[in-house]
Amino acid sequence: MQITTFSFKRLLIYPVILIILLVLGFTVTAEKQPAWFQQAQDEAEQDGYKLITAHEMKALYESGENFTIIDVRPEYEFREGHILHANSLEFDLGDKLELKSDKQAALIGLLGSDKKQTIIFYCRSVA
Amino acid sequence: MGYQNVLRFPDGFFGWKSFFSDNTQSVDTIKKLGIGDVFPSCRLVMLYDETDRAYLKIQSLQKSFALEDIGNPYLYIVIYNEKCLACVDEVQSFKALYKSLNESLYLSDKVKLLAIGAGSKKRGVIAFKKENAIPYPLFADENRSIFYCLGNPVLPTSYLVHIQPDGRRQILFVQQDHINNVEMLIQKIYSLVKDMELPK
């Protein structure tokens, strides 16, 4: 009888520990995201693309997988410093409304015909 | 355009640099002008003759003027571009700064705020001023000559410049990041101007 009670108590402790870990884990993850992240996430969902974190991108670099990375800042900023192997193609606010044919051609020229490749865009930062 | 795996890295270049500075590369490095350097000589063209001339206390009636023609010893010069999102976001801070400068008994007669659109055409400057109801003078640096002389700063960047009696334009302060607190910036400008005005 004593053994049964002991096992029952132990069984109760595991879910409690699990819940505490989940709550703590969620809190820590939530605190890691900067204030602008939710806005970036909303924009991504609205415009049909996904976000990539710095560590995911680092892993992608290390995996040796082929991908195209595009720096959309002005060329003079790109020349002063950019992420390794990035290509420069400046986009501004007007391009969000309408992508002109010359820029569209430049983008296609850069990306090529492989529609399944991974393409990463970045600017200065959304912060 | 049919590409299926499009990702955005929202931390951007500066986020990446803060995580992994070794995984960046540059093509060239140009010296950015900073504190103590001489602000480049330039001629600007009036877009709103009477109001700008009165605010900047320019005596000459010519359409263009040099910074040395401005009748105030200190200038707070903003370099921006109307297509740059950070510049658009920062307009509210500059408007608040302009208001605070005008309301300051000590600074209103000494420091004037003006903005120069790097790569902006005159009509772009006029439209930007109208759309954002900007009260301070805006000018166009169409061929980006001033911008290049400043060393291609990240936009927007602003400079507190002292026009010395001999016409030299010494940079006293450079603001590159987002203005978090306009009052603190005013205090900074106040203390720099006060120091310069002390008898040497």
CATH code of the domain containing A93: 3.40.250
Q: How much is the pLDDT for B37?
A: 93
Verify that A4 and A46 share a domain, yes or no. Answer: no
* Domains in chain B: boundaries: 32-197
Cα–Cα distances (Å) from A48 to A82, A109, A111, A119, B38, in that order, read: 25, 22, 18, 13, 48
Q: How much is the pLDDT for B148?
A: 85
Among residues 1-30 of chain A, which lie with CB inside 8 Å of chain B? none
| Closest CB from A61, A119, A124 relative to B13 | A124
**Number of separate domains in chain A:** 2
Cα–Cα nearest to B183, from B72, B112, B86, B93: B93
Averaged pLDDT of chain A:
77
Verify that A56 and A118 share a domain, yes or no. Answer: yes
Q: Is there a domain that residue A127 lies in?
A: no
- Topology of domain B32-197, per CATH? Glutaredoxin (3.40.30)
Chain A partners within 8 Å of B30 (Cβ) = 80
Q: What is the pLDDT of residues A104-117, one digit of tens each?
A: 888 888 898 888 89
Verify that A25 and A44 share a domain, yes or no. Answer: no
Cα–Cα distances (Å) from A94 to A97, A100, A103, B55, B83, in that order, read: 6, 9, 12, 32, 7
| Closest CB from A111, A120, A125 relative to B14 | A125
What is the ipTM for the molecules in this complex?
A: 0.72
pLDDT in tens, chain B (200 residues): 788 899 999 988 888 887 887 777 776 667 789 999 999 888 899 888 789 999 999 988 888 888 988 989 999 999 999 988 889 999 999 999 999 999 999 999 999 999 999 989 999 999 999 999 999 999 999 888 899 889 888 889 999 999 988 888 999 999 987 888 999 999 999 999 999 988 87
Q: How much is the pLDDT for A113?
A: 84
Which residue segment(s) compose the domain that A68 sits in? Answer: 37-122
